[in-house]
Amino acid sequence: MNAWIVAVGSELLTPFRVDTNSLAITERLNTIGCEIRFKAVVGDDVDALADVLKRGIGAVDLIICTGGLGPTEDDITRDALARVLDVPMDLDEAIAEELKRRFERRGMVMQAINRRQAMVPRGAVVLENSRGTAPGLWIEREGTGIALLPGPPREMKPMLEALVVDRLAPKTSGAGLFRRVLKITGQPESEVDARAQPIYGRWLTAPVPIATTILAVMGQIELHLSASAKNKADADEALDAAVSELAQHLGPMVYSSDGRGLEVVIGDLLRAKHFSIAVAESCSGGLLSSRLTDVPGSSDYFDRGAVCYSNAAKIDWLGVPEALIAAHGAVSEPVARAMADGMRTRAGSDVAIGITGIAGPGGGTPEKPVGTVSIAVLTPNGDKIRTFQFLGGRDMVKFQSAQAAMNMLRLLLLDA
């Protein structure tokens, strides 16, 4: 099965909004073996939408439209469909009644304009909207199924799910694209790809072919494995073997193959070992604390964090000796270590991290340019201290500092 996705709405032709519904739709359709061939965005323009629909009907198995189902004159999706199919629009009394009840439940009177939402191109089936007023529509013509779904994601998603389960999946063989993601940090994309390519290159011609996409995002590499299989069981078997082979070959640089983020992986390691953690940050400005505490239940192991921007804070709060700062500079491995040491003593925690560096854009020197960051990680399994030279702007330096600190901690905890 193959599909087109058409997003309707003039706001999607401005610089302010991007169509993200199509990503969720693609992901769900891929799981039933339906491939996306084309995506389009049209404004609130009956002619433009009718033109796209006309080209797709008879040429593609499925067209999913999102948006333009509201009650106003701008909401033109129903009209465009009726025009292309050359059918009249009928008022669906059941929808009109339900709309009226919804308004009454909120103590409001339904305005006449809302009856537009009850108009149905003749022959179309109504898809229930469990979370809003705009019902969806489904119709088949010339071998093409056409679904009109609402634009708001929270209304669109349950309707898509019902459409897939009730109407689309039963027509498919169970074949589909099934996925896994390996997450890696601390290595450049080129290095990861050079090591991974000889492995994943072979999978394209395997009995269950697996395509691999490498995505580099800030401070992190993701390997997306997509298996095209006759059913989920075959896909799971092939993907589990592939993930295991690749993870073994790449070694500990892979921090997750089950969707967990780095902060969740750290949390799970700390919890398993019954270790508490306290962190002292300078250049990362609280980002490490914030990421560690993004994890539900992190209060089980996260004790406290300090953001010591001023030297005074490092000295009087963490007990970093003033002479140490004078001798090595605030950005140095001895100071990173003293920050972590001071933090561990004060918090009585098992693990402590100290980060000091130059986030920029100011503050760099020829010896210690912007992006110079020293990180100390102290654990009951041993310590690690390193100085990094990160590239990029202030945000990037902050993010990479937190990322590198978590990765150093992960490797120390794994070693134990």
Residues 82 and 88: their CA atoms lie apart, in Å, by 6
Q: Is 239 in the site for a second copy (CB under 8 A)?
A: no
Nearer to a second copy, 158 or 285 (CB): 285
Among the listed ranges 26-34, 146-154, 185-193, 248-256, the one in contact with a second copy (CB under 8 A) is 26-34
Q: Is 11 in the site for a second copy (CB under 8 A)?
A: yes
Tokens 């100390």 -> residue: 376
Nearer to a second copy, 58 or 361 (CB): 361
Residues 255 and 267: their CA atoms lie apart, in Å, by 13
CA distances from 355 to 76, 183, 389 (A): 55, 24, 13
- The DSSP letter of residue 2 is E
Largest CA distance in the chain: 85
| DSSP structure string for 184-242 | E-SS-HHHHHHHHHHHHGGGGGSSS-EEEEEEEETTEEEEEEEEEESSHHHHHHHHHHH
Nearer to a second copy, 3 or 124 (CB): 3
Nearer to a second copy, 135 or 282 (CB): 282
Q: Is 13 in the site for a second copy (CB under 8 A)?
A: yes
Of residues 32, 40, 120, 159, which one binds a second copy by CB under 8 A?
40
Q: Is 188 in the site for a second copy (CB under 8 A)?
A: no
Q: Are 328 and 334 in contact (CB under 8 A)?
A: yes
Q: Which two tokens stand for residue 370?
A: 């912007």
Nearer to a second copy, 120 or 283 (CB): 283
Q: Is 39 in the site for a second copy (CB under 8 A)?
A: yes
Q: Is 366 in the site for a second copy (CB under 8 A)?
A: no
Q: Is 254 in the site for a second copy (CB under 8 A)?
A: no
Q: Output the smallest distance, CB 65 to a second copy, in A.
A: 14
Nearer to a second copy, 258 or 395 (CB): 395
The 3-state DSSP class for residue 182 equals strand
Q: Is 304 in the site for a second copy (CB under 8 A)?
A: yes
- 145's enclosing H/E stretch is strand 144-149
Q: Is 56 in the site for a second copy (CB under 8 A)?
A: no
Q: Is 15 in the site for a second copy (CB under 8 A)?
A: yes
Half-sphere exposure of residue 282: CA atoms within 13 angstroms, side-chain side: 33
Q: Is 68 in the site for a second copy (CB under 8 A)?
A: no
Q: Is 210 in the site for a second copy (CB under 8 A)?
A: no
CA distances from 324 to 55, 337, 342, 352 (A): 72, 11, 13, 19
Q: Is 346 in the site for a second copy (CB under 8 A)?
A: yes
Q: Long-range contacts of range 88-92, CB-CB < 8 Å, 24 or more positions apart? A: 88/121, 88/122, 89/119, 89/120, 89/121, 89/122, 90/119, 90/120, 90/122, 91/115, 91/118, 91/119, 91/120, 92/118, 92/119, 92/120, 92/126
Q: Which two tokens stand for residue 332?
A: 């140095």
Q: Are 177 and 226 in contact (CB under 8 A)?
A: yes
Among the listed ranges 31-39, 104-112, 202-210, 408-416, the one in contact with a second copy (CB under 8 A) is 31-39
- The DSSP letter of residue 332 is S
Q: Is 321 in the site for a second copy (CB under 8 A)?
A: no
- The DSSP letter of residue 156 is H
Q: Is 80 in the site for a second copy (CB under 8 A)?
A: no
Angle at 93 between CA 88 and CA 95, to 5 degrees: 95
Q: Is 362 in the site for a second copy (CB under 8 A)?
A: yes
Nearer to a second copy, 45 or 383 (CB): 45
Q: Is 107 in the site for a second copy (CB under 8 A)?
A: no
Site string for a second copy, 264-303 (x = CB under 8 A): -----------------x--xxxxxxx-xxx-xxxx--xx
Nearer to a second copy, 225 or 376 (CB): 225
Residues 217-236 within binding reach of a second copy (CB under 8 A)? 224, 226
Binding residues vs a second copy (CB under 8 A): 11-20, 22-24, 26-27, 30, 35-43, 45, 48, 213, 215, 224, 226, 281, 284-290, 292-294, 296-299, 302-310, 312-313, 317, 346-347, 359-363, 394-395, 398
